[in-house]
Chain A
Protein backbone atom coordinates (compact mmCIF):
# COMPACT_ATOMS: atom_id res chain seq x y z
CA UNK A 1 0.00 0.00 0.00
CA UNK A 2 1.10 3.54 -0.71
CA UNK A 3 1.37 5.51 2.52
CA UNK A 4 1.59 9.25 3.10
CA UNK A 5 4.37 10.73 5.19
CA UNK A 6 2.12 10.99 8.23
CA UNK A 7 0.82 7.44 7.78
CA UNK A 8 4.41 6.16 7.63
CA UNK A 9 5.22 8.08 10.78
CA UNK A 10 2.23 6.52 12.54
CA UNK A 11 3.45 3.10 11.43
CA UNK A 12 6.94 3.84 12.73
CA UNK A 13 5.51 4.78 16.11
CA UNK A 14 6.39 8.47 15.94
CA UNK A 15 2.97 9.58 17.14
CA UNK A 16 1.85 7.04 19.73
CA UNK A 17 1.93 3.33 20.44
CA UNK A 18 -1.84 3.18 19.91
CA UNK A 19 -1.63 4.74 16.45
CA UNK A 20 1.23 2.44 15.53
CA UNK A 21 -0.71 -0.66 16.54
CA UNK A 22 -3.86 0.53 14.78
CA UNK A 23 -1.88 1.32 11.60
CA UNK A 24 -0.26 -2.13 11.60
CA UNK A 25 -3.70 -3.72 11.79
CA UNK A 26 -5.20 -1.41 9.16
CA UNK A 27 -2.37 -2.19 6.73
CA UNK A 28 -2.95 -5.95 7.12
CA UNK A 29 -6.64 -5.41 6.45
CA UNK A 30 -5.83 -3.11 3.52
CA UNK A 31 -3.61 -5.75 1.93
CA UNK A 32 -6.29 -8.39 2.41
CA UNK A 33 -8.96 -6.27 0.68
CA UNK A 34 -6.42 -5.22 -1.99
CA UNK A 35 -6.54 -1.51 -1.13
CA UNK A 36 -3.80 0.61 -2.69
CA UNK A 37 -3.93 3.56 -0.31
CA UNK A 38 -5.61 5.00 2.77
CA UNK A 39 -8.28 7.69 2.80
CA UNK A 40 -8.48 10.39 5.42
CA UNK A 41 -11.85 10.11 7.18
CA UNK A 42 -14.00 12.90 8.62
CA UNK A 43 -15.62 10.69 11.24
CA UNK A 44 -15.91 7.16 12.59
CA UNK A 45 -19.04 5.50 13.93
CA UNK A 46 -18.18 2.45 15.99
CA UNK A 47 -19.83 -0.38 17.89
CA UNK A 48 -20.85 0.27 21.47
CA UNK A 49 -18.67 -1.38 24.12
CA UNK A 50 -19.48 -4.89 25.31
CA UNK A 51 -22.05 -5.26 28.04
CA UNK A 52 -19.91 -7.36 30.36
CA UNK A 53 -16.42 -6.52 29.07
CA UNK A 54 -15.67 -10.20 28.82
CA UNK A 55 -17.19 -11.53 32.07
CA UNK A 56 -20.17 -13.14 30.34
CA UNK A 57 -19.21 -13.37 26.68
CA UNK A 58 -22.71 -14.50 25.73
CA UNK A 59 -23.75 -10.85 25.98
CA UNK A 60 -20.71 -9.26 24.36
CA UNK A 61 -20.23 -7.90 20.85
CA UNK A 62 -16.54 -8.78 21.06
CA UNK A 63 -15.39 -5.17 20.97
CA UNK A 64 -14.47 -5.06 24.68
CA UNK A 65 -11.04 -6.71 24.54
CA UNK A 66 -10.03 -4.49 21.60
CA UNK A 67 -11.22 -1.31 23.30
CA UNK A 68 -9.44 -2.31 26.52
CA UNK A 69 -6.21 -3.05 24.68
CA UNK A 70 -6.20 0.43 23.17
CA UNK A 71 -7.29 2.15 26.38
CA UNK A 72 -4.23 0.59 28.02
CA UNK A 73 -2.12 2.14 25.27
CA UNK A 74 -3.72 5.49 26.21
CA UNK A 75 -5.30 5.77 22.77
CA UNK A 76 -7.11 8.94 21.75
CA UNK A 77 -9.31 9.23 18.69
CA UNK A 78 -8.16 11.49 15.86
CA UNK A 79 -11.59 12.26 14.41
CA UNK A 80 -15.16 12.73 15.59
CA UNK A 81 -16.21 9.29 16.79
CA UNK A 82 -19.74 8.27 17.75
CA UNK A 83 -21.20 4.97 18.93
CA UNK A 84 -24.02 2.70 17.78
CA UNK A 85 -26.84 1.64 20.15
CA UNK A 86 -25.95 -0.62 23.06
CA UNK A 87 -27.70 -3.35 25.05
CA UNK A 88 -29.83 -1.28 27.43
CA UNK A 89 -30.73 2.08 28.88
CA UNK A 90 -28.61 1.65 32.00
CA UNK A 91 -30.55 4.04 34.27
CA UNK A 92 -33.71 1.94 33.75
CA UNK A 93 -31.95 -1.41 34.04
CA UNK A 94 -34.31 -2.68 36.78
CA UNK A 95 -37.54 -1.47 35.21
CA UNK A 96 -39.58 -4.13 33.44
CA UNK A 97 -41.45 -4.00 30.16
CA UNK A 98 -38.47 -2.87 28.11
CA UNK A 99 -36.45 -4.99 25.65
CA UNK A 100 -33.70 -5.45 28.25
CA UNK A 101 -36.22 -6.69 30.82
CA UNK A 102 -39.20 -8.28 29.11
CA UNK A 103 -41.28 -11.31 30.17
CA UNK A 104 -38.86 -11.94 33.02
CA UNK A 105 -35.87 -12.18 30.67
CA UNK A 106 -33.18 -9.83 31.98
CA UNK A 107 -29.57 -9.22 31.27
CA UNK A 108 -27.37 -10.14 34.25
CA UNK A 109 -26.38 -7.17 36.42
CA UNK A 110 -22.78 -7.57 35.18
CA UNK A 111 -24.06 -6.35 31.82
CA UNK A 112 -25.12 -3.00 33.24
CA UNK A 113 -21.89 -2.64 35.18
CA UNK A 114 -19.88 -3.58 32.10
CA UNK A 115 -21.78 -1.01 30.03
CA UNK A 116 -20.98 1.71 32.54
CA UNK A 117 -17.31 0.73 32.58
CA UNK A 118 -17.18 0.49 28.81
CA UNK A 119 -18.75 3.91 28.47
CA UNK A 120 -16.07 5.42 30.72
CA UNK A 121 -13.38 3.62 28.76
CA UNK A 122 -14.58 5.09 25.47
CA UNK A 123 -14.98 8.49 27.07
CA UNK A 124 -11.30 8.54 28.08
CA UNK A 125 -10.39 7.91 24.43
CA UNK A 126 -12.40 10.96 23.35
CA UNK A 127 -15.26 8.95 21.86
CA UNK A 128 -18.75 10.42 22.18
CA UNK A 129 -21.17 7.79 23.48
CA UNK A 130 -24.14 8.76 21.35
CA UNK A 131 -25.55 5.20 21.31
CA UNK A 132 -27.41 6.20 18.19
CA UNK A 133 -27.95 4.56 14.81
CA UNK A 134 -28.76 7.93 13.20
CA UNK A 135 -25.55 9.96 13.71
CA UNK A 136 -26.26 11.62 10.36
CA UNK A 137 -29.19 13.58 11.81
CA UNK A 138 -27.23 15.02 14.68
CA UNK A 139 -23.57 15.67 15.38
CA UNK A 140 -22.03 13.72 12.51
CA UNK A 141 -23.71 15.08 9.39
CA UNK A 142 -21.98 13.84 6.21
CA UNK A 143 -21.08 16.22 3.39
CA UNK A 144 -20.60 15.59 -0.32
CA UNK A 145 -17.34 13.76 -0.98
CA UNK A 146 -16.43 13.10 2.66
CA UNK A 147 -14.99 9.74 3.63
CA UNK A 148 -16.28 8.08 6.81
CA UNK A 149 -15.78 4.73 8.55
CA UNK A 150 -19.24 3.84 9.84
CA UNK A 151 -20.28 0.47 11.15
CA UNK A 152 -24.02 1.21 11.01
CA UNK A 153 -25.64 0.09 7.77
CA UNK A 154 -28.63 2.43 7.64
CA UNK A 155 -26.34 5.37 8.38
CA UNK A 156 -23.87 4.27 5.70
CA UNK A 157 -26.68 4.05 3.15
CA UNK A 158 -28.00 7.50 4.08
CA UNK A 159 -24.49 8.99 3.89
CA UNK A 160 -23.83 7.42 0.47
CA UNK A 161 -27.25 7.83 -1.13
CA UNK A 162 -28.62 11.08 0.28
CA UNK A 163 -25.50 13.07 1.23
CA UNK A 164 -23.01 11.85 -1.39
CA UNK A 165 -20.43 10.95 1.24
CA UNK A 166 -18.41 7.74 0.96
CA UNK A 167 -18.49 4.91 3.48
CA UNK A 168 -18.89 1.18 3.57
CA UNK A 169 -20.96 -0.54 6.18
CA UNK A 170 -17.59 -0.90 7.83
CA UNK A 171 -16.81 -3.76 10.17
CA UNK A 172 -16.79 -3.32 13.95
CA UNK A 173 -13.00 -3.68 14.23
CA UNK A 174 -11.34 -1.54 11.56
CA UNK A 175 -13.85 1.31 12.05
CA UNK A 176 -12.35 1.62 15.54
CA UNK A 177 -8.75 1.55 14.24
CA UNK A 178 -9.79 4.27 11.80
CA UNK A 179 -11.07 6.37 14.70
CA UNK A 180 -7.60 6.15 16.29
CA UNK A 181 -5.59 6.91 13.15
CA UNK A 182 -8.03 9.07 11.18
CA UNK A 183 -7.45 6.92 8.10
CA UNK A 184 -8.90 3.70 6.65
CA UNK A 185 -7.87 1.53 3.69
CA UNK A 186 -9.71 2.70 0.58
CA UNK A 187 -11.99 -0.14 -0.43
CA UNK A 188 -15.56 -0.93 -1.45
CA UNK A 189 -17.77 2.13 -1.67
CA UNK A 190 -14.85 4.44 -0.89
CA UNK A 191 -13.74 3.82 -4.51
CA UNK A 192 -15.62 5.69 -7.24
CA UNK A 193 -15.54 2.70 -9.59
CA UNK A 194 -17.61 0.72 -7.06
CA UNK A 195 -20.29 3.41 -6.72
CA UNK A 196 -21.80 3.05 -10.20
CA UNK A 197 -25.25 1.61 -10.71
CA UNK A 198 -25.63 -1.96 -11.94
CA UNK A 199 -29.39 -2.42 -12.31
CA UNK A 200 -32.24 -0.04 -13.20
CA UNK A 201 -35.54 0.28 -11.36
CA UNK A 202 -38.29 2.45 -12.83
CA UNK A 203 -41.11 3.38 -10.48
CA UNK A 204 -44.62 3.28 -11.93
CA UNK A 205 -46.43 6.63 -11.73
CA UNK A 206 -48.96 4.85 -9.55
CA UNK A 207 -46.22 3.92 -7.07
CA UNK A 208 -45.00 7.51 -6.92
CA UNK A 209 -48.54 8.80 -6.31
CA UNK A 210 -49.27 6.26 -3.60
CA UNK A 211 -46.05 6.24 -1.57
CA UNK A 212 -47.32 7.46 1.77
CA UNK A 213 -46.54 5.91 5.10
CA UNK A 214 -43.08 4.98 6.40
CA UNK A 215 -44.08 1.36 5.82
CA UNK A 216 -44.47 2.04 2.07
CA UNK A 217 -40.91 3.34 1.88
CA UNK A 218 -39.76 0.25 3.74
CA UNK A 219 -41.60 -1.95 1.25
CA UNK A 220 -40.11 -0.02 -1.70
CA UNK A 221 -36.57 -0.27 -0.35
CA UNK A 222 -37.05 -3.91 0.55
CA UNK A 223 -38.30 -4.77 -2.93
CA UNK A 224 -35.44 -2.93 -4.65
CA UNK A 225 -32.79 -4.27 -2.28
CA UNK A 226 -33.84 -7.88 -2.59
CA UNK A 227 -33.86 -7.69 -6.41
CA UNK A 228 -30.58 -5.78 -6.66
CA UNK A 229 -28.65 -7.70 -3.95
CA UNK A 230 -24.99 -7.16 -4.86
CA UNK A 231 -25.58 -4.57 -7.59
CA UNK A 232 -26.14 -0.88 -6.84
CA UNK A 233 -29.69 0.02 -7.84
CA UNK A 234 -30.40 3.05 -9.99
CA UNK A 235 -33.93 4.25 -9.26
CA UNK A 236 -35.69 6.44 -11.79
CA UNK A 237 -39.05 8.21 -11.95
CA UNK A 238 -38.29 8.81 -8.30
CA UNK A 239 -40.32 11.52 -6.49
CA UNK A 240 -38.89 15.02 -6.96
CA UNK A 241 -38.47 15.47 -3.22
CA UNK A 242 -38.12 13.12 -0.27
CA UNK A 243 -38.53 13.94 3.43
CA UNK A 244 -35.74 13.19 5.90
CA UNK A 245 -37.92 10.54 7.57
CA UNK A 246 -38.70 8.79 4.29
CA UNK A 247 -35.05 8.94 3.22
CA UNK A 248 -34.12 7.40 6.56
CA UNK A 249 -36.67 4.60 6.10
CA UNK A 250 -35.54 3.90 2.55
CA UNK A 251 -31.86 3.89 3.52
CA UNK A 252 -32.50 1.47 6.37
CA UNK A 253 -33.80 -1.24 4.07
CA UNK A 254 -30.42 -1.39 2.41
CA UNK A 255 -28.57 -3.17 5.16
CA UNK A 256 -30.54 -6.38 5.34
CA UNK A 257 -31.40 -6.46 1.62
CA UNK A 258 -28.58 -4.82 -0.33
CA UNK A 259 -25.02 -6.02 -0.09
CA UNK A 260 -23.57 -2.54 -0.65
CA UNK A 261 -25.32 0.29 1.23
CA UNK A 262 -26.00 2.63 -1.66
CA UNK A 263 -29.00 3.59 -3.77
CA UNK A 264 -28.49 5.83 -6.80
CA UNK A 265 -31.74 7.80 -6.70
CA UNK A 266 -31.95 9.79 -9.93
CA UNK A 267 -32.61 13.45 -9.14
CA UNK A 268 -31.95 13.00 -5.40
CA UNK A 269 -28.53 11.37 -4.89
CA UNK A 270 -25.83 14.01 -5.47
CA UNK A 271 -23.90 11.75 -7.87
CA UNK A 272 -27.02 10.81 -9.84
CA UNK A 273 -28.53 13.89 -11.53
CA UNK A 274 -29.32 11.72 -14.60
CA UNK A 275 -29.71 7.98 -15.27
CA UNK A 276 -26.44 8.04 -17.21
CA UNK A 277 -24.58 9.66 -14.34
CA UNK A 278 -26.09 7.14 -11.94
CA UNK A 279 -24.53 4.37 -14.06
CA UNK A 280 -21.19 6.17 -14.03
CA UNK A 281 -21.38 7.79 -17.48
CA UNK A 282 -23.57 5.66 -19.69
CA UNK A 283 -26.16 2.95 -19.28
CA UNK A 284 -24.38 -0.37 -19.84
CA UNK A 285 -25.71 -2.51 -22.69
CA UNK A 286 -27.94 -5.25 -21.39
CA UNK A 287 -28.42 -3.63 -17.97
CA UNK A 288 -31.36 -5.28 -16.28
CA UNK A 289 -34.43 -3.05 -15.94
CA UNK A 290 -37.22 -3.70 -13.47
CA UNK A 291 -40.49 -1.81 -13.39
CA UNK A 292 -41.78 -1.36 -9.83
CA UNK A 293 -45.56 -1.59 -9.47
CA UNK A 294 -47.94 -1.21 -6.55
CA UNK A 295 -48.37 -5.00 -6.63
CA UNK A 296 -44.66 -5.33 -5.91
CA UNK A 297 -45.00 -3.15 -2.83
CA UNK A 298 -48.03 -5.13 -1.69
CA UNK A 299 -46.05 -8.37 -2.13
CA UNK A 300 -43.45 -7.10 0.34
CA UNK A 301 -46.18 -6.37 2.91
CA UNK A 302 -47.39 -9.95 2.46
CA UNK A 303 -43.88 -11.39 2.71
CA UNK A 304 -43.20 -9.52 5.93
CA UNK A 305 -46.38 -10.75 7.62
CA UNK A 306 -45.21 -14.00 9.15
CA UNK A 307 -47.49 -14.22 12.21
CA UNK A 308 -50.06 -16.99 12.34
CA UNK A 309 -52.65 -14.87 14.12
CA UNK A 310 -53.36 -11.19 14.72
CA UNK A 311 -52.76 -11.07 18.49
CA UNK A 312 -49.98 -8.57 19.11
CA UNK A 313 -47.42 -8.91 21.93
CA UNK A 314 -45.06 -6.09 20.97
CA UNK A 315 -45.37 -3.01 18.81
CA UNK A 316 -41.88 -1.81 17.88
CA UNK A 317 -41.35 1.55 16.19
CA UNK A 318 -38.01 3.25 15.71
CA UNK A 319 -35.70 1.10 13.60
CA UNK A 320 -33.82 3.20 12.69
CA UNK A 321 -34.31 5.52 15.67
CA UNK A 322 -37.13 8.05 15.51
CA UNK A 323 -36.39 11.72 14.97
CA UNK A 324 -38.30 14.43 16.81
CA UNK A 325 -40.71 15.00 13.94
CA UNK A 326 -41.75 11.35 14.05
CA UNK A 327 -42.07 11.36 17.84
CA UNK A 328 -44.27 14.44 17.60
CA UNK A 329 -46.50 12.73 15.01
CA UNK A 330 -46.78 9.56 17.10
CA UNK A 331 -47.52 11.52 20.28
CA UNK A 332 -50.34 13.30 18.44
CA UNK A 333 -51.80 9.98 17.31
CA UNK A 334 -51.47 8.43 20.78
CA UNK A 335 -52.79 11.39 22.75
CA UNK A 336 -55.72 10.42 24.97
CA UNK A 337 -55.57 6.71 24.04
CA UNK A 338 -54.86 3.79 26.36
CA UNK A 339 -52.60 0.91 25.37
CA UNK A 340 -53.81 -2.67 25.80
CA UNK A 341 -52.28 -4.30 28.87
CA UNK A 342 -51.33 -7.26 26.64
CA UNK A 343 -49.10 -5.13 24.43
CA UNK A 344 -45.61 -3.72 24.97
CA UNK A 345 -45.59 -0.57 22.83
CA UNK A 346 -41.99 0.51 22.23
CA UNK A 347 -40.67 3.73 20.70
CA UNK A 348 -36.91 3.96 20.14
CA UNK A 349 -34.71 7.01 19.77
CA UNK A 350 -31.37 8.48 20.79
CA UNK A 351 -30.72 10.49 23.92
CA UNK A 352 -30.53 13.91 22.30
CA UNK A 353 -33.90 13.41 20.60
CA UNK A 354 -35.38 11.89 23.76
CA UNK A 355 -34.34 14.85 25.90
CA UNK A 356 -35.83 17.30 23.45
CA UNK A 357 -39.06 15.27 23.30
CA UNK A 358 -39.10 15.29 27.09
CA UNK A 359 -38.54 19.06 27.18
CA UNK A 360 -41.45 19.55 24.80
CA UNK A 361 -43.74 17.33 26.89
CA UNK A 362 -44.02 14.63 24.21
CA UNK A 363 -42.61 11.76 26.27
CA UNK A 364 -45.21 12.54 28.95
CA UNK A 365 -48.04 12.30 26.41
CA UNK A 366 -46.65 9.00 25.13
CA UNK A 367 -46.04 7.38 28.53
CA UNK A 368 -49.47 8.40 29.85
CA UNK A 369 -50.97 5.94 27.34
CA UNK A 370 -48.91 3.05 28.69
CA UNK A 371 -46.49 3.16 25.75
CA UNK A 372 -42.76 3.28 26.44
CA UNK A 373 -40.14 5.50 24.86
CA UNK A 374 -36.47 4.84 25.54
CA UNK A 375 -33.02 5.74 24.28
CA UNK A 376 -29.55 4.21 23.73
CA UNK A 377 -30.82 0.77 22.73
CA UNK A 378 -33.22 -1.06 20.46
CA UNK A 379 -35.15 -4.30 20.32
CA UNK A 380 -32.46 -5.81 18.09
CA UNK A 381 -30.01 -5.62 21.00
CA UNK A 382 -32.33 -7.42 23.42
CA UNK A 383 -32.13 -11.12 24.31
CA UNK A 384 -35.12 -11.79 22.05
CA UNK A 385 -34.25 -15.44 21.52
CA UNK A 386 -35.35 -16.04 25.13
CA UNK A 387 -38.75 -14.36 24.83
CA UNK A 388 -40.49 -17.41 23.44
CA UNK A 389 -43.11 -17.05 20.75
CA UNK A 390 -44.06 -13.41 20.29
CA UNK A 391 -45.89 -11.54 17.55
CA UNK A 392 -44.18 -8.24 16.85
CA UNK A 393 -45.95 -5.51 14.88
CA UNK A 394 -43.62 -3.03 13.20
CA UNK A 395 -43.14 -0.77 10.20
CA UNK A 396 -39.46 -1.64 9.85
CA UNK A 397 -38.19 -4.00 7.16
CA UNK A 398 -34.81 -3.97 8.88
CA UNK A 399 -36.29 -5.02 12.21
CA UNK A 400 -37.97 -8.03 10.65
CA UNK A 401 -34.92 -9.09 8.67
CA UNK A 402 -32.57 -8.66 11.65
CA UNK A 403 -34.78 -10.91 13.74
CA UNK A 404 -35.39 -13.42 11.00
CA UNK A 405 -32.97 -15.85 12.58
CA UNK A 406 -34.22 -15.52 16.12
CA UNK A 407 -37.65 -17.09 15.91
CA UNK A 408 -40.09 -14.21 16.33
CA UNK A 409 -43.07 -13.71 14.03
CA UNK A 410 -44.12 -10.39 12.54
CA UNK A 411 -46.95 -8.16 11.44
CA UNK A 412 -46.02 -5.33 9.10
CA UNK A 413 -48.16 -2.23 8.75
CA UNK A 414 -48.65 1.51 8.68
CA UNK A 415 -48.22 3.77 11.69
CA UNK A 416 -52.01 3.97 12.00
CA UNK A 417 -52.24 0.14 12.02
CA UNK A 418 -49.54 -0.04 14.70
CA UNK A 419 -51.25 2.49 16.97
CA UNK A 420 -54.56 0.63 16.59
CA UNK A 421 -52.80 -2.66 17.37
CA UNK A 422 -51.36 -1.13 20.53
CA UNK A 423 -54.80 -0.06 21.73
CA UNK A 424 -56.82 -3.13 20.74
CA UNK A 425 -54.15 -5.85 21.00
CA UNK A 426 -55.17 -6.97 17.50
CA UNK A 427 -53.41 -6.16 14.26
CA UNK A 428 -55.60 -5.26 11.29
CA UNK A 429 -53.89 -4.15 8.09
CA UNK A 430 -55.68 -1.30 6.36
CA UNK A 431 -53.08 -0.65 3.66
CA UNK A 432 -54.34 -2.83 0.84
Chain B
Protein backbone atom coordinates (compact mmCIF):
# COMPACT_ATOMS: atom_id res chain seq x y z
CA UNK B 1 0.00 0.00 0.00
CA UNK B 2 1.16 3.51 -0.77
CA UNK B 3 0.41 6.59 1.30
CA UNK B 4 1.18 10.15 0.33
CA UNK B 5 1.16 13.43 2.17
CA UNK B 6 2.05 16.99 1.32
CA UNK B 7 3.89 19.56 3.43
CA UNK B 8 4.14 23.26 2.73
CA UNK B 9 7.28 25.19 3.56
CA UNK B 10 9.35 28.18 2.50
CA UNK B 11 11.86 28.16 -0.37
CA UNK B 12 15.38 29.18 0.66
CA UNK B 13 16.99 27.99 -2.57
CA UNK B 14 14.93 27.32 -5.64
CA UNK B 15 14.55 24.26 -7.85
CA UNK B 16 12.67 21.03 -8.26
CA UNK B 17 13.95 17.60 -7.32
CA UNK B 18 12.77 14.15 -6.43
CA UNK B 19 14.48 11.24 -4.81
CA UNK B 20 14.74 8.94 -1.83
CA UNK B 21 14.86 10.57 1.58
CA UNK B 22 17.78 10.19 3.95
CA UNK B 23 16.71 11.50 7.35
CA UNK B 24 18.93 12.51 10.25
CA UNK B 25 17.65 13.47 13.68
CA UNK B 26 21.10 14.92 14.36
CA UNK B 27 22.69 18.09 12.98
CA UNK B 28 24.69 17.81 9.74
CA UNK B 29 27.88 19.47 8.46
CA UNK B 30 28.66 19.55 4.75
CA UNK B 31 32.32 20.44 5.44
CA UNK B 32 34.87 18.46 3.42
CA UNK B 33 36.08 16.43 6.38
CA UNK B 34 32.51 15.65 7.52
CA UNK B 35 31.00 14.54 4.19
CA UNK B 36 33.61 13.43 1.66
CA UNK B 37 33.78 15.58 -1.46
CA UNK B 38 34.62 12.66 -3.75
CA UNK B 39 32.15 10.04 -2.48
CA UNK B 40 29.34 11.86 -0.62
CA UNK B 41 29.88 9.52 2.34
CA UNK B 42 29.26 10.94 5.81
CA UNK B 43 32.37 10.69 8.01
CA UNK B 44 31.24 11.83 11.41
CA UNK B 45 32.15 9.32 14.09
CA UNK B 46 29.26 8.87 16.58
CA UNK B 47 26.79 10.35 14.07
CA UNK B 48 23.73 8.18 13.39
CA UNK B 49 24.38 8.44 9.62
CA UNK B 50 28.15 7.81 9.77
CA UNK B 51 29.10 5.80 6.68
CA UNK B 52 25.88 6.59 4.80
CA UNK B 53 25.98 8.28 1.41
CA UNK B 54 24.09 11.51 0.64
CA UNK B 55 24.48 11.29 -3.14
CA UNK B 56 21.19 11.93 -4.99
CA UNK B 57 19.25 11.79 -1.72
CA UNK B 58 16.74 14.28 -0.43
CA UNK B 59 18.62 15.03 2.77
CA UNK B 60 16.41 15.84 5.76
CA UNK B 61 17.97 17.14 9.01
CA UNK B 62 17.31 19.66 11.78
CA UNK B 63 19.99 22.26 10.95
CA UNK B 64 23.71 22.85 10.59
CA UNK B 65 26.69 22.01 12.77
CA UNK B 66 30.36 22.63 12.13
CA UNK B 67 32.53 25.00 10.15
CA UNK B 68 31.35 27.88 7.97
CA UNK B 69 33.12 26.02 5.14
CA UNK B 70 30.07 23.75 5.08
CA UNK B 71 28.74 26.24 2.51
CA UNK B 72 31.48 25.63 -0.05
CA UNK B 73 31.48 21.90 0.85
CA UNK B 74 27.80 21.62 -0.11
CA UNK B 75 28.41 23.66 -3.27
CA UNK B 76 31.33 21.48 -4.38
CA UNK B 77 29.49 18.23 -3.84
CA UNK B 78 26.27 19.46 -5.47
CA UNK B 79 27.63 21.21 -8.52
CA UNK B 80 31.19 20.11 -9.22
CA UNK B 81 31.74 16.54 -8.03
CA UNK B 82 28.03 15.62 -8.31
CA UNK B 83 27.98 13.50 -5.16
CA UNK B 84 25.79 15.86 -3.14
CA UNK B 85 22.14 15.58 -2.16
CA UNK B 86 19.44 16.49 -4.70
CA UNK B 87 17.75 18.79 -2.18
CA UNK B 88 17.94 19.68 1.51
CA UNK B 89 15.00 19.94 3.87
CA UNK B 90 15.52 21.30 7.39
CA UNK B 91 13.61 22.59 10.39
CA UNK B 92 15.67 25.71 9.73
CA UNK B 93 18.11 25.92 6.85
CA UNK B 94 21.06 27.75 8.37
CA UNK B 95 22.55 30.60 6.29
CA UNK B 96 25.66 28.41 5.89
CA UNK B 97 23.61 25.78 4.06
CA UNK B 98 21.49 28.38 2.23
CA UNK B 99 24.66 29.77 0.65
CA UNK B 100 25.83 26.25 -0.24
CA UNK B 101 22.48 25.28 -1.77
CA UNK B 102 22.22 28.51 -3.80
CA UNK B 103 25.73 28.12 -5.23
CA UNK B 104 25.20 24.37 -5.68
CA UNK B 105 21.87 25.02 -7.44
CA UNK B 106 19.83 22.59 -5.37
CA UNK B 107 16.56 23.39 -3.61
CA UNK B 108 16.56 24.10 0.13
CA UNK B 109 13.33 24.26 2.09
CA UNK B 110 12.31 24.99 5.71
CA UNK B 111 9.55 26.85 7.57
CA UNK B 112 7.09 23.94 7.88
CA UNK B 113 4.27 23.90 10.43
CA UNK B 114 5.16 20.24 11.00
CA UNK B 115 8.57 18.84 11.91
CA UNK B 116 10.05 17.49 8.64
CA UNK B 117 12.49 15.30 10.59
CA UNK B 118 9.50 13.44 12.07
CA UNK B 119 7.18 13.59 9.05
CA UNK B 120 9.68 12.12 6.59
CA UNK B 121 11.34 8.72 7.01
CA UNK B 122 14.47 7.38 5.36
CA UNK B 123 13.40 5.54 2.20
CA UNK B 124 10.34 7.71 1.52
CA UNK B 125 10.10 9.08 -2.02
CA UNK B 126 10.12 12.87 -1.80
CA UNK B 127 9.25 15.41 -4.49
CA UNK B 128 10.36 18.98 -3.87
CA UNK B 129 8.88 21.92 -5.74
CA UNK B 130 10.51 25.16 -4.66
CA UNK B 131 10.03 27.81 -7.29
CA UNK B 132 10.88 31.21 -5.85
CA UNK B 133 13.14 32.21 -2.99
CA UNK B 134 11.00 33.30 -0.05
CA UNK B 135 7.89 31.80 -1.68
CA UNK B 136 5.96 28.64 -0.89
CA UNK B 137 7.60 25.27 -1.38
CA UNK B 138 5.65 22.04 -1.72
CA UNK B 139 6.98 18.69 -0.55
CA UNK B 140 5.17 15.51 -1.58
CA UNK B 141 6.06 12.43 0.45
CA UNK B 142 5.22 8.95 -0.83
CA UNK B 143 5.65 5.95 1.44
CA UNK B 144 5.29 2.31 0.49
CA UNK B 145 4.33 -0.06 3.25
Chain A interfacial positions (CB closer than 8 Å to B):
25, 28-29, 31-34, 47, 54, 56-63, 65-66, 151-153, 168-175, 187-188, 384-385, 402, 404-407
Contact = CB atoms under 8 A, between A and B. Distances in A.
B47 A29 contact: no
Interface range for B: 35 or more
Interface string B73-104: 11111011100000000000001101110110
Contacts of B32: 57-62
Q: Across chains A and B, which 10 residue pairs bring their CB atoms closest together, nearest first? A: A62-B72, A62-B76, A171-B71, A405-B44, A57-B37, A171-B99, A172-B72, A173-B99, A171-B96, A151-B68
Given A171-B68, A404-B46, A65 B95 contact: no
Nearest to B134: A31
Contact of A32 (B13, B70, B79): B13
A32 B133 contact: yes
Interface in B41-76: 43-47, 66-76
A414 B61 CA distance: 37
A405 B34 contact: yes
Nearest to B34: A405
Given A65-B80, A385-B33, 8 more contacts: A28-B133, A29-B98, A31-B133, A66-B103, A171-B100, A172-B67, A173-B75, A188-B95
A29 B72 contact: no
A171 B100 CA distance: 8
B119 interface: no
B129 interface: no
Interface string B1-19: 0000000000111000000
Given A172-B69, A385-B33, A404-B46, A57 B75 contact: no
A60 B100 CA distance: 15
Which of B71, B103, B134 has the most C-beta atoms of chain A within 10 angstroms of its own C-beta? Answer: B71
Interface string B95-138: 11011101100001000000000000000000000000110000
B106 to A, nearest CB: 13
Given A32-B13, A62-B32, A171 B134 contact: no
A234 B100 CA distance: 32
A33 B34 contact: no
Interface of B: 11-13, 29, 32-34, 36-38, 43-47, 66-77, 79-81, 95-96, 98-100, 102-103, 108, 133-134
A47 B73 CA distance: 12
B37 A60 contact: yes
Nearest to B37: A57
Contacts, number: 124
A151 B103 contact: no
Nearest to A408: B45
Contact of A173 (B45, B46, B72): B72
A187 B43 contact: no
Given A33-B98, A174-B99, A405-B46, A61 B134 contact: no
Contact of A172 (B71, B80, B102): B71
Contacts of B13: 32
A172 B133 contact: no
Contacts of B46: 404-405
Contacts of B68: 47, 151-153, 169-172, 175
Nearest to B36: A58
A32 B98 contact: yes
A61 B43 contact: no
Given A60-B37, A61-B32, A25 B69 contact: no
Nearest to A152: B68
Contact of A66 (B33, B67, B72): B72
B48 to A, nearest CB: 12
A183 to B, nearest CB: 15
Contact of B71 (A32, A173, A187): A173
Contacts of A58: 32, 36-38
Contact of A407 (B12, B29, B45, B81): B45
Contacts of B34: 405
Contacts of A29: 95, 98-99, 102
A33 B37 CA distance: 26
Contacts of A56: 38
Nearest to B93: A32
